[in-house]
């Protein structure tokens, strides 16, 4: 099962980048802001995917759900902090933006599964 992890990571990152930058674009964010949104996701997505995958693999579904909740919360806060510091256009509160973008990408992930 571990051999599937790189493919799983690539798919998850691709879906997340498409969903979150696409949604941010629809919300009116452009160039530099979209770049920082993508970079924030490249920072937070791999640890979330790897750690939740590994916790499910080694400790079961309940551990995966608990780990995913904690990891997604950490990603949400990290991305909000990045948005607060880097975005030029603060059309939305950075925490609200992070919540919206993470919710959209999480729902896209659920639909794909």
Helices 94-112 & 61-86, crossing angle to 10 degrees? 140
What pLDDT digit, counting tens, does each position of 70-87 carry? Answer: 999 999 999 999 999 999
In this structure, what token pair is assigned to residue 103? 């919710």
pLDDT at 60: 84
Tell me how far apart the alpha carbons of residues 71 and 69 are, in angstroms, rounded to a whole number. 6
What pLDDT digit, counting tens, does each position of 30-57 carry? Answer: 999 999 999 999 999 999 999 999 998 8
Q: Using the 8-state DSSP alphabet, how is residue 91 labeled?
A: S
User: Domain locations in the chain?
Assistant: 2-112
pLDDT at 81: 97
pLDDT at 61: 87
Q: How confident is the model at residue 91 (pLDDT cuts 50, 70, 90)?
A: confident
Using a 10 angstrom Cβ sphere, with 0-12 exposed, 13-18 middle and 19 or more buried, the burial of residue 112 is exposed
pLDDT at 90: 82
pLDDT at 102: 97
Q: What's the pTM?
A: 0.91
């Amino acid at each position: 099962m571990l051999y599937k992890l790189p493919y799983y990571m690539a798919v998850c990152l691709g879906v997340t980048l498409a969903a979150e930058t696409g949604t941010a674009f629809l919300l009116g964010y452009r160039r530099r802001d979209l770049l920082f949104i993508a970079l924030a996701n490249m920072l937070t997505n791999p640890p979330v995917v790897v750690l939740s995958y590994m916790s499910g693999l080694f400790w079961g579904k309940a551990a995966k759900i608990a780990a995913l909740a904690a990891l997604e919360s950490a990603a949400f806060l990290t991305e909000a902090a990045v948005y607060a510091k880097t975005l030029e256009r603060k059309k939305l509160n950075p925490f609200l933006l992070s919540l919206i973008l993470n919710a959209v990408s999480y729902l896209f992930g659920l639909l794909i599964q």
